[in-house]
Amino acid sequence: MPERPLTVRHDPNARGFASDNYAGVHPEVLTAIAIANGGHQVSYGEDVYTEHLGEIFRAHFGERAQAFPVFNGTGANVIGLQAMTDRWSSVICAESAHIHVDECGAPEKVAGLKLLTVPTPDGKLTPELVDAQAYGWDDVHRAQPRVVSFAESTELGTVYTPDEIAALAEHAHGHGMLVHLDGSRLANAAATLDVPLRALTTDVGVDVLSFGGTKSGLMFGEAVVVLNPDAARGVEYLRKSAMQLASKMRFVSVQFEALFANDLWLRNARQANAMATRLAERVADIEGVSLTRMPQANAVFAVLPVDVTERMQKRFRFYTWDESTGEVRWVTAFDTTEADVDAFVAALAEELR
């Protein structure tokens, strides 16, 4: 058969506000993949790129940090929580937490643990809210509370300060529990607060975290990062049994190397955050738009008339967050530009007229 050139099957200029997962791969990450592509390297993580990755994570998270690259965020959360718990354990989390709402029950079905959820006004746990579920130790009828899990930033776009995390961790540890952080957007939170990654993790008592890569410009890949080796057991075996062990792991690891080189993670997060702020500021004065809160990272929440939402979704992809109130969510990414935001705002103003 004659050779056929590959066809571009999408509009490379199209932009949406549904998720930072919609964005492509950052050019610096694509370059890194190409650099790692020549010749043969030992598979399943015994390559030179994965070996070097350990040094990089230790530089950002402390000398005890151990990084285990995986394919995706759900896998990272499941493996991290499973390594921290027993089969009779439970995990306390916000009612809106991604591990509860958006992972199809994987933490419970795959990790074999129980999620104990707490309603929160802004997606953030506090010591007082944790206490609503932190009880029943030694009661054989109750799944034993073992871990407090929180997200930074949260599903509602809010950000914990280092002091808030420290208070949460101190309270959990005082109960004999461990602390897990879902950090799929940890970079955005660090950029908002202008602090290093360890200021939100190692320095404030987090034991294990999932570190996001895909939302920050990677093609694929997240990492389970163990900050307290005493808090997690058998991550390397759990990663394999959970089908998250990449045979050609060098191509995951080198992406993280690119992400940390020249602070690409921070540059990308700052760009996404700045565009979310710009979007919120531009729509705030449009009659018919009601912002739920000002963005703290790269997510904007607003209430629109339902018919306007339906028309806008035909022009730009985004999700309805709460059908009952008409609340929508707009997410910006590392490649969102001022022109993208302005075009969206102009379209919204047009539809509202």
- pLDDT on residue 1: 67
Q: How far, in Å, CA of 298 to CA of 310, rounded?
A: 22
pLDDT digits (tens, 9 = 90+) for 20-52: 999 999 999 999 999 999 999 999 999 999 999
Class of CATH domain 269-352: alpha beta
Triad 24, 30, 32: Cα angle to 5°:
145
DSSP readout, 281-304? HHHTTSTT-EEEE--SSSEEEEE-
At residue 5, the pLDDT reads 86
Which among 71, 32, 52 has a CA at the least distance from the CA of 246? 71
pLDDT at 2 over 90: no
CA of 48: how far to CAs of 66, 212, 220, 257, in Å? 16, 22, 19, 12
Distance CA 77, CA 328 (A): 26
Residue 148: Cβ-neighbour burial (10 angstroms; 0-12, 13-18, 19+): buried
Q: Which position has the token pair 């300060």?
A: 161
Report the mean per-residue pLDDT for the chain: 97
Per-residue confidence band for 118, with pLDDT thresholds at 50, 70 and 90: very high
Exposure string for 214-230, b = 16+ CB within 10 A, e = fewer: bbbbbbebbbbbbbbee
- Please spell the DSSP secondary structure of 11-36, one letter per residue: -TT---SS-GGGS---HHHHHHHHHT
pLDDT for the residue numbered 67: 98
Mean pLDDT confidence for 274-292: 96
**CATH code for the part of the protein at 26-263:** 3.40.640.10
Residue 82: which pLDDT band, with cuts at 50, 70 and 90?
Answer: very high
pLDDT at 171 over 80: yes
Record the pTM.
0.96
Return the domain boundaries, the chain.
26-263, 269-352
- Of the chain, the percentage scoring pLDDT greater than 70 comes to 100
Q: Do domains 26-263 and 269-352 have the same CATH topology?
A: no
Phi, psi angles (nearest 5°) of residue 99: -65, -20
Residue 304 above 80 pLDDT? yes
